[in-house]
Structure 1
Amino acid sequence: MKNKTVIVTGAASGIGKATAELFAKQGASVVLSDINEYEVEAVTKNIRYLGGNASSFKADVSQPEEMKELVNFAVKAYGKLDIAVNNAGISGEIEPLIDLTIEDFQHVINVNLNSVFYGLKYQIPAMLKNGRGSIINISSILGAVGFAGSSAYAAAKHGVVGLSQNAALEYSALNIRVNAVGPGFIDTPMLKVLDNGIRSQIVALHPIGRFGKSEEVAELILWLGSDKASFVTGSYYPVDGGYLAR
């Protein structure tokens, strides 16, 4: 990853944080983005303390202009863009479909799906200037199946898979690889709201018998971003402890 520039959105915690740290550890220059300015700056400072090359940029991924500014910042700071990880997302309200407000549905779609479109729209042109690039969009196991109470989230994450496949069809011949990753339930701050009973029920849905770790997802993302995955594009990779195999 030396001489590579990487953007990671949603990098203040969870999968995004672990991914940014891993890319930096492997020698990449990493731009960490998040809407939580102070938290993402703290992660960035820690990467620098450990000898990594990193910068932070506050951005609301649901706003196209801010995604454009993020890409411009990365290119200005490091001269180019090689890899982008569109990870930022929210769980949204857990409600039956008809109880979900229109505003909540639209908010989840904006943050989890529209943001990926905005990312692709501005990241791909920057990569075309280099003649190559790799984009990893973070979907979910709910990019392949449903989950009661999560209509907006499932719709958005299904959309991420489709959008990734379509972008791969359009730009792989131009040496831009685009793939989607589908984490199962990963032990991140997003799951902290669950009580122990619900946590136990969800763990039981994973044949491996536990939640995943952010670092385990980051390893897959790193591989997809690297030249070791040079023939991999338009794919959807679950990393789910066997959830989808049930």
Structure 2
Amino acid sequence: MTRTSVVTGAASGIGKATKQLLEQRGERVIGADIRDAEVVADLSEPAGRAALVEEVRRLSGGSIDAVYAVAGLSTATVATVAVNFSGTVATLEGLRPLLLGSPAPRAVLVSSMAALMPSDEELVALLTAGDEQAALARAEILAKEPATTGRLIYASTKLALSRWVRRHASTSQWAGEGIPLNAVAPGVISTPMTADLIATDEGRVGLLKAVPMPLNGIAEPVVVAQALAWLGSVENTHLCGQIVYVDGGSDVVLRGDSVW
């Protein structure tokens, strides 16, 4: 029986690669993005998140098999907090009821190896506590200095996402309903998000000093899409709350023997 999946951020980058890969494998995919998608919705706003859920419900007939929450931003702005954390969590929680009718429901999101980088402790704590308004206010303060404190915003949202997965995957709402909830944490991927950073040899070298990728270097989006597709497949029955680093070795180099 054909599986129906939802992919956010489906218009470009990893989301687009994931949608294309799943469709090539015969799945029905409902893509969502702020443009060029079956569902056009702005995940930075509560109204957009609600619209996403309702439109997916309508298009799917009320039942889906997998959610791939890929949409994200990497700017030193308040919007990065709204989309990366709040938008991702709202997507997963909002669509979770539609997974319950599937014989093999799956949910996966995109974190980042940036979760290993310096972050803002206060912002992470506010996100972890689910206080979106306070988190947005904190991000507004950080964003005033984009070259310094503003650079902490992206890493903070991804760290909070990784913690959210770890804290929720084993609960009755996810594992208790037979839904594996996991995440991938990409390293440097050749997408529109990183295009300016890797446009020159100097830029690539500098970035790879900060994000070492000894195994095959910078990856194409399909590399992450393949990992996402397996996590969202019927074959994945027992991975629960895992953050799978698809990073060419960055995690290993930066953390060595440390596991968490």
Corresponding position: 1:189 with 2:192: yes
Q: Measured at CA, do residues 65 and 121 of structure 1 come closer, stay the same or move farther in structure 2, by a change above 3 Å?
A: farther
Superposition pairs of residues 21-36 of structure 1, within 5 angstroms:
21-35=20-34
Q: How many residues align?
A: 217
Q: CA deviation at 1:175?
A: 0.8
Counterpart-to-counterpart distance in 2, 1:212 and 1:230:
27
In structure 2, the partner of 1:156 is 157
Task: Look up the match of 1:230.
Answer: 237
CA RMSD of aligned residues (A): 1.8
- Report the Cα offset of residue 68 of structure 1: 2.8
Q: What is the alpha-carbon distance in structure 2 between the residues aligned to residue 131 and residue 154 of structure 1? A: 35
Structure 2 CA distance for aligned equivalents of residues 167 and 198 of structure 1: 37
Flag structure 2 segments of 5+ consecutive residues without an equivalent: 120-146, 254-260
Q: Distance between the aligned counterparts of 1:132 and 1:162, measured in 2?
A: 24
- Cα pair distance change 1:151/1:82, threshold 3 Å: same
Q: Distance in 2 between matches of 1:86 and 1:134?
A: 11
Identity of aligned residues (%): 30
Deviation at 1:31, TM superposition (A): 0.8
Measured after TM superposition, the shift of residue 209 of structure 1 is 4.8
SS class of match (1:19): helix
Structure 1 partner of 2:118: 146
Are 1:218 and 2:225 matched, yes or no?
yes
The separation in 2 between residues aligned to 1:144 and 1:116, in whole angstroms, is 19
Q: What's the counterpart of residue 94 of structure 2?
A: 122
The separation in 2 between residues aligned to 1:164 and 1:158, in whole angstroms, is 10
- Residue 41 of structure 2 is matched in structure 1 by 59
1:73 aligns with 2:55: yes
Distance 2:50 2:208 in 1: 38
Q: Which has the higher helix share?
A: 1
The amino acid that maps onto 1:137 is L
Q: Could you list the runs of 5+ residues in structure 1 that have no partner in the other structure?
A: 42-55, 94-103
Shift of residue 20, structure 1, vs aligned partner = 0.3
Q: Which amino acid aligns with 2:56?
A: A
Report which stretch shifted further, 68-77 or 170-179. 68-77
TM-score (norm 2): 0.78
Query: Does structure 2 retain, via aligned residues, the 8 Å contact 1:10–1:34?
Result: yes
Please give the alpha-carbon distance, in whole angstroms, between the structure 2 residues aligned to 1:239 and 1:60: 27
Give the ranges of 4+ consecutive aligned residues of structure 1 lying more than 6 Å apart after TM superposition.
none
Which residue number corresponds to residue 242 of structure 1?
249
Correspondence 1:85 to 2:90: no
Inter-partner Cα distance in structure 2 for 1:135 and 1:143: 20
Report the Cα offset of residue 134 of structure 1.
0.9
The separation in 1 between residues aligned to 2:179 and 2:239, in whole angstroms, is: 11
Shift of 1:58: 0.6
CA distance in 2, matches of 1:131, 1:65: 30
Partner of 2:214: 207
Equivalent-residue separation in structure 2 for 1:209 and 1:131 (angstroms): 37
3-state secondary structure, aligned to 1:229: coil
Distance of 2:50 and 2:26 partners within structure 1: 25
Q: What residue is the counterpart of 2:126 in the other structure?
A: none
Kept in 2: contact 1:132–1:174 (CA 8 A): no
State the distance in 1 between where 2:166 and 2:5 align: 21
Contact 1:10 1:88 in 2 (8 A): yes
Superposed displacement of residue 131, structure 1: 6.1
1:190 Cα deviation from its structure 2 partner? 1.0
